[in-house]
Structure 1
Amino acid sequence: MNSNPTMMPMSLAEIAQAVHGRLVTGETASNGVMATSAFSDSRQVREGSVFVAIAGERVDGHDFVAKVGERGAVAALVDHEVADAGVVQIVVEDTVRALGELARHNLERRRAMDSPFTVIGITGSVGKTTTKDLMASLLSSMGETVAPVGSFNNEIGLPLTALRVNEGTRFLVAEMGANHVGEIANLTSLVPPDIAVVLKVGVAHLGEFGSAERIAQAKSEIVKGLVPGGVTVLNANDGHVAAMSGIAPGEVLWFGLPERQTPDHMVAAENVSCDDLDRPSFDLRDAEGEHAAVKLGICGLHNVMNALAAATVAHRLGMPLDRIAAGLADVRRISPHRMAVSTIAKPEAEFTLIDDSFNANPDSMKAGLDGLIRWHANDGRQPFRIAVLGAMLELGPDERMLHEQVGAYAVQGGVDALIAVGSRDDVALDALAEAMTQGGEQAARARCTVDWAHDIDQADALVSRLATEHAGTVVLLKGSHASGLSALADRWQPLATE
């Protein structure tokens, strides 16, 4: 993996030309100054950096232009000249668009070299970041690999990742997300993939898109954005995804669980099972019928599909099946707040935490709950299972019903306590948490308690009380980022003992 965020070295004049900008201090550009990195966060700027000033909702990067020269920046991309900045400025109409143009130029420079270079693009309603983590881990054993931190998958995060590509980079793993039709098309215009992976068309962002068909249309843009003759990698178990084979410009590879309608020649998982820590095992079979035994190092049955997608790409790029199996077993940590397991030792109680709080939609909620229910389900321990669930966003007019269904699913599945977490400051979030409790109460069993917490402090207190009363407690944290559950996970993390 490439932990050194260095781009292809460029003169300031070259950068100005690539982004169609105007150099405010032209003489500096002719003095041999070279830029070697790019950042939009002024705290990350170092010697040789280009600082990209972006005006956000809360912070305007232009307020920091005057300081970045002191940190070693050689230039700042700005949409208006900042007086007395003390650093060369390249003035453009739109700094976000200029960031994308600079990233595209950086990749064009890399592709122009004689050495091999492959861009893998990943999209889907769920699983993008985990698949990216697994794939990057596998590919890094074959060559220097650049992949985003966390889920940098939008018009800012993706170009910043692409600007970490340099002469030594062999693979770029690019995660591509979208809330609207046309967004992935824009991302592929900046970072066109050689291999496009489509994981799933689910109901995430249904409120923004309006229908599953529109979501499929948006995800299919990654296939249309492939380089000429590029390779398409599709989930054979998802009808919307499988239909994208009709627009593929070249070779199509398949992955999935064997079913009657799936292709014979695909990378598949057979004999899937989970241990009592919800870590999946399966027989990995390639398109030629060769087999290797896999035991994933991360938990979650849903991660079998993510592992298959990563394995398909790695195998296509030349990694033998046995090395793929070993590599998947070696991945024990992925991006934060994704099925991360630890033991939290509070003064009053101790419990096992399954932190999957990064984001949530109905599909991933159910997958997380399934993992909670499987936890030590077969070894006689019978842990006390608490589901701490936050609101799911962008689900459209059916959002209340979908929250009720998740609440009912949790209780019917076998949790011992459901805590739905809302917000004291956001009426809409609090109403969705209320809907989740109502769904849970309607399905309630005698042993199951259902609580509506109005903030993470209340949720924290409820978990502490229940964990004090019940030895062997295991807690799942799951919700959209706005629900604040990742902040609760961060609060508990200093108390983690493993």
Structure 2
Amino acid sequence: MMNAQSMPLWTGEEACAAMQARSIGPLPARIEGISIDTRSLKPGDLFFAITGDARDGHDFVVQALEKGAAAAVIARDRAEALATACESLPGALFVVPDTLTAMEDLGRAARARSDARIIAITGSVGKTGSKEAMRLLLSRSGRTHASAASYNNHWGVPLTLARMPRDTQYGVFEIGMNHAGEIAPLARMVRPDVAIVTTVEAVHIEHFHSVSGIADAKGEIFLGLEPGGVAVINRDNPHFERLRAHALASDAGRVVCFGESEGADVRALRIIAKQDMTIVDARVFETPLTYRVGMVGRHVAINSLGLVAAIHALGLDLALAALALGDLTPPTGRGARDLLAFNGGELLLVDESYNANPASMRAALETLGQTEIGFRGRRIAVLGDMLELGDSGPAAHGELAHSVIGNGVDLVFAAGPLMKNLMAALPPERRGGYANLATGLEGVVVAALRAGDVVMVKGSRGIRMERIVEAVKKRAGTGSALAQEG
């Protein structure tokens, strides 16, 4: 009999049964992976023909089988045409009423067969970073499976579940939302033993009447908790009691809170920001714990407390987790630091370009203010619009001026229509330059930089602020004295 490690991810028979699919062609003996994109598909994968906003996966079924897919999952109304088109190709066709529903069914089957301890993470800020950190911490204790990238939505969560190997010991799932009601079905699919809410802020506020509504939406994650599971909540957040009420109304066995507040179960007594790390002096219930996090920023330290709380809830080794936090590096676009050779000296580039909202902007500006500059250097922020803020957008951008000034940021460059509100609120000496698009800012920023500067780049994904990061690196060349990219 094959052991768990030699078993495939799925057999064709198992997959067909889980999805209640009809097979055209012989069932494959082995399915080694799950794919929804032929560009990254590997031989032996099961390809799901998902219909998206821009493309229909059914148009790529022939290509998937040509690339060696073990089988393709297709909708019933496309079966006749695809059976003819794929007649001479290896690989089976699994026919289902709806391909996304079939992927959800396969995800549920993966969860049902697994003995893994499962952690689910949501929050307005810090989901992906916390997920990656939790992946690192748990991997020190056993075989760990986690979401790829930010696969946290209605297709990303079931895809991640369906990919979970049968011998997984720990699973980490990031769950996101844009609207109320989106987290609950995903949480019930994941069925976590521990559910974490990092924080609640005015993110996606255009879809809600208030931030309290966002708290209620985040609180849906507790609806999926396994009976007796643990809810982990940020005690410092103004919506703590609202989230706690959601947890107490669920099947949670207990609520654990973290933060700097007096009543936190996992509490930071002292946070010390260094140039390339953050030191946390904490108390975990009654046990003292001091550790370093291999990233910079108070917000990083606070999120690390939530991870420690989850490790404690799982009954794992806190000392081992604390050591792992020291090896943490930021995901690309979320705080990666490069010390670049520049104009005969060095320049520190902080890449926060992946996304932005008011809370993460304030945190990034605070971290920039704590970062040491070189001789004659300046603290420079290159900022792009924060999107999905609705009517509050103009005011939210203008209010960033307080964080800029309060954290001693010397110069601001800005891109996007909403950022005009920040530039108008800043004193003239702090205005470096403005453009409607990030591409219009590249040359201005690069020309203004000098050795000794620290430059932080941040904006919402749609503004493409990574162009500025690429432009600065290109100007600096390949010389790099420090590389901390995740």
What TM-score does the superposition give when structure 1 sets the normalisation length?
A: 0.87
Aligned to 2:421: 435
Structure 1's unaligned 5+ residue stretches are: 112-116, 423-430
1:46-100 Cα deviation digits (max 9, x unpaired): 2321101122233332222101122221111122222412342223333222222
Asked if 2 retains the 8 angstrom alpha-carbon contact of 1:7 and 1:165, the reply is no
The alignment partner of 1:355 has SS state of strand
Residues 297-336 of structure 1 mapped to structure 2, 5 A cutoff: 297-331=294-328, 333-336=329-332
1:246-284 Cα deviation digits (max 9, x unpaired): 324233343433434x24xx1111122212x26321212
1:462 aligns with 2:444: yes
Asked if 2 retains the 8 angstrom alpha-carbon contact of 1:146 and 1:171, the reply is yes
Specify whether residues 217 and 382 from structure 1 end up closer, same or farther in structure 2 by C-alpha distance, changes over 3 A only. farther
Aligned to 2:287: 290
Q: What is the distance in 2 between the residues matched to 1:272 and 1:9?
A: 43
Aligned to 1:257: 259
Aligned to 1:386: 380
Q: What is the distance in 2 between the residues matched to 1:305 and 1:254?
A: 14
Q: What is the distance in 2 between the residues matched to 1:401 and 1:349?
A: 39
1:453 aligns with 2:435: yes
Aligned to 1:61: 57
Aligned to 1:46: 42
Residues 25-424 of structure 1 mapped to structure 2, 5 A cutoff: 25=24, 27-29=25-27, 33-79=29-75, 80-81=78-79, 82=82, 83-85=84-86, 86=89, 87-111=91-115, 117-245=116-244, 246-260=248-262, 262-263=263-264, 266-275=265-274, 277=275, 279-287=277-285, 289-331=286-328, 333-345=329-341, 351-376=347-372, 381=375, 383-422=377-416
**198-207 or 32-41: which moved more?**
32-41
**64-73 or 451-460: which moved more?**
451-460
Specify whether residues 147 and 165 from structure 1 end up closer, same or farther in structure 2 by C-alpha distance, changes over 3 A only. same
Structure 2's unaligned 5+ residue stretches are: none
Count of residue pairs the alignment pairs up = 463
- Report the alpha carbon displacement of residue 168 of structure 1 after superposing the two structures with TM: 2.0
TM-align CA RMSD: 2.4
Asked if 2 retains the 8 angstrom alpha-carbon contact of 1:388 and 1:459, the reply is no
Q: What is the distance in 1 between the residues matched to 2:469 and 2:294?
A: 21
**137-146 or 52-61: which moved more?**
52-61
The alignment partner of 1:15 has SS state of helix
Specify whether residues 313 and 401 from structure 1 end up closer, same or farther in structure 2 by C-alpha distance, changes over 3 A only. same
Q: Which amino acid aligns with 1:449?
A: R
Specify whether residues 89 and 493 from structure 1 end up closer, same or farther in structure 2 by C-alpha distance, changes over 3 A only. farther
- Report the alpha carbon displacement of residue 13 of structure 1 after superposing the two structures with TM: 4.1
Asked if 2 retains the 8 angstrom alpha-carbon contact of 1:52 and 1:77, the reply is yes
Q: Percent identity?
A: 33
The alignment partner of 1:10 has SS state of coil
1:166-222 Cα deviation digits (max 9, x unpaired): 232100000000001111112113211111111111101111223112111111111
Aligned to 1:425: none
- Report the alpha carbon displacement of residue 340 of structure 1 after superposing the two structures with TM: 0.6
- Report the alpha carbon displacement of residue 417 of structure 1 after superposing the two structures with TM: 1.4
Q: Which amino acid aligns with 2:117?
A: T
The alignment partner of 2:73 has SS state of strand
Q: Which amino acid aligns with 1:102?
A: L
Specify whether residues 196 and 357 from structure 1 end up closer, same or farther in structure 2 by C-alpha distance, changes over 3 A only. same
Q: What is the distance in 1 between the residues matched to 2:98 and 2:473?
A: 39
- Report the alpha carbon displacement of residue 299 of structure 1 after superposing the two structures with TM: 1.0
What TM-score does the superposition give when structure 2 sets the normalisation length?
A: 0.89
Q: What is the distance in 2 between the residues matched to 1:51 and 1:439?
A: 51
Q: What is the distance in 1 between the residues matched to 2:302 and 2:72?
A: 42
1:101-147 Cα deviation digits (max 9, x unpaired): 21111121224xxxxx1110001000111111111111100000011
Asked if 1 retains the 8 angstrom alpha-carbon contact of 2:438 and 2:468, the reply is yes
Q: What is the distance in 2 between the residues matched to 1:28 and 1:196?
A: 41
Aligned to 1:14: 14
Asked if 2 retains the 8 angstrom alpha-carbon contact of 1:7 and 1:106, the reply is no
The alignment partner of 1:55 has SS state of coil
Q: What is the distance in 2 between the residues matched to 1:351 and 1:138?
A: 32
The alignment partner of 1:107 has SS state of helix
Aligned to 1:114: none
Asked if 2 retains the 8 angstrom alpha-carbon contact of 1:388 and 1:420, the reply is yes
Q: Which amino acid aligns with 2:466?
A: S
**199-208 or 223-232: which moved more?**
223-232
